[in-house]
Amino acid sequence: MRSTTNLDEAARVMTICNACRYCEGHCAVFQAMELRLEFNTENLDYLANLCHNCGSCYHNCQYAPPHEFNLNVAAVFADLRQENYAAYAWPAPLGRLYSQNGLWISILTAIMLGLFMAGGAVLTGADFFAAHPNQFYGVISHNVLVTLFGTVGILVLLALGLSIRKFWRAMSLPSPWSLDWPSVWMGVKAALSLKYLDGGNGQGCSYPNEKPSMLRRWFHQATFWGFMLCFAATSTATVMHYGLDLPAPYGYISLPKILGVLGGLGLLIGPIGLLMLKRRADPAIKGQSNSGMDTSFLVLLFATSITGLLLMLLSKSSWVGLALCLHLGFVMALFLSMPYGKFIHGFYRLIALVAFAVEQQKHQAVVGVSQANRIEMENLS
């Protein structure tokens, strides 16, 4: 059981919030809180991952600083998330990468860019700045790419999977085979629609400032679906390559290109919008320890997208080598940082939202409650 100053502060804050409850309409955090009388490591990690750091509860709080109760749920949970991302990371020592996250991701990116540049230059020699008949495969061959990214992909999936399993267990969820699927679907729906970025009544949350706004929800959707479309583009291309014997490069009117271009645009608009909002956001709700985690993830997504689109435009020109190596460097850095950066938040939020749906279904706390100790809360007025 972890015991830290972040957890102590989160427990203090939640105890006061639980006696007030004015914010119960805003989001799942407060409705989940109301099912509890006491706060511990598991249920605070759960509540922290239900929090989307929108700031509505901070701006509307009668006990926000300078009040002596000094409540700032958004900031407390931001710090606690940073801490529990590290705590659930696999392998455990790499959890340390969550502190100074922006710094190490920058270093990683620089190294990856350097390696791909050098690798590309070595592989093509004097032809690095030349056009190739089979476009980018002329710089680095298909098989080399598959081997490289396949291996890294497996390692990344393993690290992600084991981190997620640890968090899943902490959330007291049953094995995936005995899940209550209607609840899971509710959780998935809440996650996909970013339900709790609507402020609780469809008018938006207090981000970047006190005035309710839906901007963050839209930009986040652009980012998320942009990512998913790019993922779909890659998957389609894989099927076409291996299943239909239709190797790349593909024309502009092809499924991988259409999906990839749309996704790429989402990954330009979304991250830029989110970065702009983040710059303008009230520093009070950001917490102390983010250390560039959000920003580095958004910048990597943006860089991956813009270099990908550039590569597409330049793939027949003599700049293809440079464009490819740039793109691959960013993609590799993004891949490697996935289990140890902001990317993980999507899974933890989804799991927390599924746990929330289960609890709402049962009208009972599940996370952080030992079976013998569960209190029937139905009689609570």
Place of tokens 């059981």: 1
What residues have CB less than 8 Å from 255, skipping those under 6 apart?
A: 233, 236, 240
Work out how close the CB of 45 gets to other proteins at its nearest, in angstroms, rounded to a whole number. Answer: 20
Residue among 282, 279, 274, 280 at smallest CA distance from 298: 274
Question: Counting contacts by CB under 8 A, is residue 87 touching other proteins?
Answer: no
Work out how close the CB of 53 gets to other proteins at its nearest, in angstroms, rounded to a whole number. Answer: 16
Residue among 136, 145, 49 at smallest CA distance from 314: 136
Question: Counting contacts by CB under 8 A, is residue 95 touching other proteins?
Answer: no
Place of tokens 């710089």: 139
Question: Counting contacts by CB under 8 A, is residue 34 touching other proteins?
Answer: yes
Question: Counting contacts by CB under 8 A, is residue 31 touching other proteins?
Answer: yes
Alpha-carbon distances of 369 from 28, 181, 364, rounded to whole Å: 18, 22, 10
Work out how close the CB of 20 gets to other proteins at its nearest, in angstroms, rounded to a whole number. Answer: 4
Note whether 249 and 134 are within 8 A (CB): yes
Question: Counting contacts by CB under 8 A, is residue 331 touching other proteins?
Answer: no
SS3 category, 245: coil
Place of tokens 């400032």: 209
SS3 category, 17: helix
Question: Counting contacts by CB under 8 A, is residue 380 touching other proteins?
Answer: yes
Nearer to other proteins, 38 or 180 (CB): 38
One of 6, 7, 26, 97 touching other proteins (CB under 8 A): 26
Question: Counting contacts by CB under 8 A, is residue 370 touching other proteins?
Answer: no
One of 4, 9, 11, 15 touching other proteins (CB under 8 A): 15
Give me the 35-54 binding string for other proteins, x by CB under 8 A, dash otherwise. --x-----------------
One of 5, 68, 253, 372 touching other proteins (CB under 8 A): 68
Residue among 285, 339, 281 at smallest CA distance from 101: 339
The DSSP symbol for 205 reads B
- Give the sign of the dihedral formed by CA 278, CA 284, CA 289, CA 291: positive
One of 25, 91, 114, 247 touching other proteins (CB under 8 A): 25
- Which span sits near other proteins by CB under 8 A: 58-66, 111-119, 126-134, 154-162? 58-66
Question: Counting contacts by CB under 8 A, is residue 8 touching other proteins?
Answer: no
- Which span sits near other proteins by CB under 8 A: 143-151, 170-178, 207-215, 252-260? 207-215
Tokens of 146: 């598959």
Work out how close the CB of 38 gets to other proteins at its nearest, in angstroms, rounded to a whole number. Answer: 9
Question: Counting contacts by CB under 8 A, is residue 283 touching other proteins?
Answer: no
Work out how close the CB of 284 gets to other proteins at its nearest, in angstroms, rounded to a whole number. Answer: 11
Question: Counting contacts by CB under 8 A, is residue 56 touching other proteins?
Answer: yes
Distance (Å, whole) CA 77 – CA 376: 27
Question: Counting contacts by CB under 8 A, is residue 210 touching other proteins?
Answer: yes
Distance (Å, whole) CA 255 – CA 287: 42
Phi then psi dihedrals of residue 132, to 5 deg: -125, 145
What is the chain's alpha carbon radius of gyration, rounded to the nearest angstrom?
23
Footprint of other proteins on 186-205 (CB under 8 A): 199-201, 203
Nearer to other proteins, 26 or 220 (CB): 26
**DSSP H or E stretch at residue 228:** helix 215-238
Residues that bind other proteins (CB under 8 A): 15-16, 18-26, 31, 34, 37, 56-57, 59-63, 65-68, 199-201, 203, 210-212, 363, 375, 377, 379-381
